[in-house]
């Protein structure tokens, strides 16, 4: 059997409508299906392929152990030592989270706002810190109550957190960034009378949602890696690729039913990233 052109490592099954599906869509039209190997979960080593797309921070040890491979890794771990051969992606969701925090604080009008985040890994901690900073930027005096769940698929924990943040802590607006568990938290928060902001997967009743062009960014990087056979420093990527607000790969999209104050808060927050 010929060596496949692309191996894709994703942390879970297809059908999540978000993180995993975005990676699986990134090579559509770029590589023929028979030239792609998809691995769900974490293998013992990187699969044999011309290019590897490692979709998540959990794959960093495997990437470090294969310094001769051509790898796109779609996250940035706390330490990038030993990863110079790989192209890393900084999704900069913390930028949109700061915008979301400012909008949430304006809408909450002095009441607390809540955040249900995933495990306290670097990416989720940065998101939580940025959301709190955005709330403070609004100057309304409202507090941020943040909860980190032990896993992104802790749906029961998400439901419980969503209910507690609204009913016990009085949160008026909630942002969930914990994938399926965050969606469950938002559902419970809405049922308890709170307003919600979506993260990657919008709900029709959300005030707005964080939109991240994961598929587009990965498609471009995978296409370049397949064409050149180079990633990381060899491809000129001495630093992680920044997929943020200024690059146009990230946004906070507001729903049509939000008020003028929320629209102004978004515009004020985005101004800091312009140009």
The two structure tokens encoding residue 232: 């990381």
**Average pLDDT in the 201-228 region?**
95
The two structure tokens encoding residue 13: 């099954």
Are both 6-90+214-242 and 93-211+248-271 of the same fold?
Answer: yes
Sheet with 36-40, edge to edge strand ranges: 36-40, 6-10, 51-54, 71-73, 86-90, 241-242
Percentage of the chain exceeding pLDDT 90: 88
**Average pLDDT in the 10-36 region?**
90
The two structure tokens encoding residue 231: 């990633």
**Average pLDDT in the 77-105 region?**
96
Identify the band that residue 253 occupies on the pLDDT scale cut at 50, 70 and 90: very high
Q: With beta carbons less than 8 A apart as the criterion, state whether 191 and 107 touch.
A: no
In which region does residue 141 sit, left (phi positive, over 0), alpha (psi from -120 to 50) or beta (all else)? Answer: left
Domain 93-211+248-271 in this protein, CATH class: alpha beta
Fold of 6-90+214-242: Rossmann fold (3.40.50)
Identify the band that residue 144 occupies on the pLDDT scale cut at 50, 70 and 90: very high
Residue 1 has pLDDT above 80, yes or no: no
Please tell me the predicted confidence (pLDDT) of residue 34.
Answer: 78
Q: Which residues contact 34 (CB under 8 A, 6 or more apart)?
A: none
Average pLDDT, the chain: 94
Q: With beta carbons less than 8 A apart as the criterion, state whether 184 and 162 touch.
A: yes
Q: CA-to-CA distance for 115 and 229, rounded, in angstroms?
A: 41
Q: With beta carbons less than 8 A apart as the criterion, state whether 63 and 83 touch.
A: yes
CB neighbours of residue 242 within 10 Å: 17
Q: CA-to-CA distance for 72 and 49, rounded, in angstroms?
A: 12
Residue 271 has pLDDT above 90, yes or no: yes
Q: With beta carbons less than 8 A apart as the criterion, state whether 179 and 19 touch.
A: yes
Query: What would the pLDDT profile of 28-87 be if each residue is shown by its tens digit?
Result: 989 887 799 999 999 999 999 999 999 999 999 999 999 999 999 999 998 999 999 999
Please tell me the predicted confidence (pLDDT) of residue 200.
Answer: 86
Question: Which neighbouring-strand residues pair with 208?
Answer: 197, 254
Backbone φ and ψ of 11, nearest 5° = -80, -10
Q: Can you give the residue ranges of every domain in the chain?
A: 6-90+214-242, 93-211+248-271
The two structure tokens encoding residue 51: 């290019």
Please give the DSSP secondary-structure letter assigned to residue 175: E
Q: Which residues contact 102 (CB under 8 A, 6 or more apart)?
A: 134, 135, 137, 138, 265, 266, 268, 269
Please tell me the predicted confidence (pLDDT) of residue 78.
Answer: 87
Least confident of 92-96, 177-181, 207-211: 177-181
Residue 150 has pLDDT above 80, yes or no: yes
Identify the three-state secondary structure at position 44.
coil
Angle between helices 260-271 and 122-138 (to 10 degrees): 120
């Amino acid at each position: 059997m010929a060596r496949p052109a692309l191996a894709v490592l994703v942390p879970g099954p297809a059908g999540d409508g978000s993180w995993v599906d975005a990676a699986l869509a990134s090579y559509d039209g770029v590589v023929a299906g028979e030239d792609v190997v998809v691995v769900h979960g974490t293998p013992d080593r990187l699969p044999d392929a011309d290019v590897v797309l490692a979709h998540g921070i959990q794959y960093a040890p495997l990437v470090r152990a294969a310094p001769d491979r051509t790898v796109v890794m779609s996250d940035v771990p706390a330490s990038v030592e030993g990863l110079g051969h790989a192209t890393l992606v900084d999704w900069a969701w913390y930028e949109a989270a700061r915008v979301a925090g400012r909008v949430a604080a304006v809408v909450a009008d002095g009441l607390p706002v809540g955040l249900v985040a995933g495990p306290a890994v670097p990416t989720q901690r940065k998101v939580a810190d940025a959301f709190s900073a955005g709330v403070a930027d609004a100057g309304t005096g409202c507090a941020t109550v943040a909860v980190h769940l032990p896993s992104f698929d802790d749906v029961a924990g998400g439901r419980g957190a969503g209910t507690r943040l609204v009913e016990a802590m009085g949160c008026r607006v909630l942002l969930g960034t914990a994938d399926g568990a965050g969606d469950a938290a938002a559902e419970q928060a809405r049922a308890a009378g709170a307003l919600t902001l979506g993260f990657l997967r919008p709900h029709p009743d959300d005030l707005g949602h964080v939109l991240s062009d994961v598929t587009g960014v990965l498609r471009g990087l995978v296409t370049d890696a397949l064409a050149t056979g180079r990633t990381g420093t060899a491809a000129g990527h001495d630093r992680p690729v920044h997929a943020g607000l200024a690059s146009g790969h990230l946004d906070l999209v507001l729903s049509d039913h939000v008020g003028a104050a929320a629209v102004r808060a978004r515009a004020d927050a985005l101004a800091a990233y312009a140009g």
